[in-house]
Structure 1
């Protein structure tokens, strides 16, 4: 039961932050910039935190539940990315939809990799 509470706490914080970022950034462009920023930031954090945890801390499962599964999971969102992409396709914005797919997947994978490299080099 404790595990669920930890995930709930971290997920709530990440979700609220994602809501605020999307609310601010998405009206500024025809591209789902808020979702992209949230997903790449969460991916970068996962990359950094996995290295930091392995090198410097004996992280307990509780901390991992709160930070990586909860907060980063709440901040990032594959379902919103998918919904926004389908919305773009349904509104005959296939070029923007394709750009969203390519940029989002590439940016998130590169962010995890970059986060790990940054953590290995600087921490």
Structure 2
């Protein structure tokens, strides 16, 4: 496969992920950053499922999985997580910000692990 093709597949996945993230954020309304938490946990689960599948499947190269890696990259959002955590610290309490950090890390790591275990 050519490098241009692989980059294009990655970009398509990223675009699809970003559009879905935006749509979900519009559907989930809260004064807390619940939408970001949900997309980051779902993205971690999807990536765990895919990596677990790749680990168990024969004949699928990492290059051929660019679509899913692009999708997860466009779907999840560390920059929004960082900004929303700072906003929680400024407008609420340090405990809200720390809770967001801990909850995000534990749930995302747990979802990635679950995806690997399920496959």
Q: Please say whether Structure 1 and Structure 2 have the same fold, judged by a TM-score greater than 0.5.
A: yes
Question: TM-score, normalised to structure 1's length?
Answer: 0.86
1:116 to 1:61, Cα distance in 2 relative to 1, 3 A:
closer
Q: Which runs of 5+ in 2 are unaligned?
A: none
Q: For each residue in 1:20-71, what CA deviation from the matched residue of structure 2 results, as whole angstroms up to 9, or x when unmatched?
A: 111111x2x2221111111111111111111111212422444311112x00
Question: Residues 57-72 of structure 1 correspond to what in structure 2 (within 5 A)?
Answer: 57-68=58-69, 70-72=70-72
Return structure 1 stretches of 4+ with deviation > 6 angstroms.
none
- Counterpart of 1:101? 101
What SS is found at the alignment partner of 1:84?
Answer: helix
Contact 1:45 1:72 in 2 (8 A): yes
Matched, 1:75 2:75: yes
Deviation at 1:95, TM superposition (A): 2.3
Aligned residues: 116
Q: Which runs of 5+ in 1 are unaligned?
A: none
Question: Residues 1-123 of structure 1 correspond to what in structure 2 (within 5 A)?
Answer: 1-25=4-28, 27=29, 29-68=30-69, 70-119=70-119
Deviation at 1:78, TM superposition (A): 0.7
Contact 1:6 1:62 in 2 (8 A): no
1:6 to 1:62, Cα distance in 2 relative to 1, 3 A:
farther
What SS is found at the alignment partner of 2:60?
Answer: coil
Deviation at 1:16, TM superposition (A): 0.6
